[in-house]
Amino acid sequence: MRKEVKMGIFGLGLVIPSFLLLSVIVIIPIILSFFESLRNETGGYDLSRYVYLFTDEGMRANIVFTLQVTIVSCVIVLAVSYALAVYMRFSTGRLVDLIRKTYMIPIFIPGVIATYGLINLLGNHGWLSRWLLLFGGTLPRIIFDQKGIIIANLWFNIPFTTMLLSSALAGIPNAVIESAKDIGASRLRIFFRIILPLSYKTFLVAVTFVFMGVIGSFTAPFLVGPNAPQMLGVSMEQVFSVFQEREQAAAISFFTFLLCSVLGFFYIRTMVKEETARP
């Protein structure tokens, strides 16, 4: 047997266990959920469950609410994380050292505990509200509102996103930045012509992770979100456990998967174009 064939068999042997695990955990459940979502009330198969998603006023509100929270959260998380990563990469001082030592702390705090802390801090009878009352002020509604979910998403996603972007910025040679400064390039020009292009791939990875994490989140939207409208994850849980409608819950689940697949498609397409463009 030739060496190339042996290496091919060896490579397949390494890939097959991972593929089987992926199939059992991800691919097969997605397929089963799709077929489950096609079942109607009479036992037949049609698209009535998906029609309901767009014709029912409550479900439409849930979809719009989920997309609003996801987009706003992604924009703020990426902006703050990129700013922190750039600041830590190209600045020095005590403040930078303090940020480097503390920005990862939220990752090690369980989501339920962090959410409970936000409720105690930002609730109508929380610590911040009590302090404002001493000075005659009032705290606007944050918890059990869209703002509460967004704040929770910032707490959960900024540390990890900052870590991803910091690793990409750390790979940019100082010599490239110094050379650009020597020829008179401004800070904005250096950022848009050097820093951003060299960290673009990691930025896309961060966008993908944040988007999928927020749109599929459950803990924070369930604990600090409003009763209506709801995030799709909370709505799916309510449909499944309260109303006992497995088929409709499967439709919500598969629709959420499709939303994530759209971003995944553009990410893979961009990566493939970049690889094929290389000489």
Supply the DSSP string of 41-109, one letter for each residue: TTS-B-SHHHHHHHHSHHHHHHHHHHHHHHHHHHHHHHHHHHHHHHHHHH--SHHHHHHHHHTTGGGGS
Q: What pLDDT was estimated at residue 132?
A: 84
CB 220 within 8 A of CB 153: yes
Domain boundaries, the chain: 57-277
Q: What pLDDT was estimated at residue 139?
A: 80
CATH architecture of 57-277: Orthogonal Bundle (1.10)
279 — pLDDT class (breaks 50, 70, 90): low
Q: Which residues contact 191 (CB under 8 A, 6 or more apart)?
A: 86
Q: List, for residues 220-270, the tens digit of each pLDDT value.
A: 899 998 888 999 999 998 888 888 888 999 999 999 988 888 888 877 777
* Residue linked to tokens 């002020």: 137
Q: List, for residues 66-100, the tens digit of each pLDDT value.
A: 999 999 999 999 999 999 999 998 888 888 888 88
Number of residues that this document lists for the chain: 279
Round to whole Å and give the CA distance between 140 and 218. 24
SS3 content of the chain, % helix, strand, coil (to 5): 80, 0, 20
Q: List, for residues 2-29, the tens digit of each pLDDT value.
A: 677 777 777 788 888 888 888 888 888 8
Report if pTM > 0.75: yes
Q: What pLDDT was estimated at residue 41?
A: 83
CB 265 within 8 A of CB 251: no
Q: ∠ at Cα 117 (112, 122), nearest 5°?
A: 125
Reply yes or no on whether the pLDDT at 183 is more than 90: no
Q: What are the phi and psi torsion angles at 47 (to 5°)?
A: -105, 20
Q: What pLDDT was estimated at residue 83?
A: 92
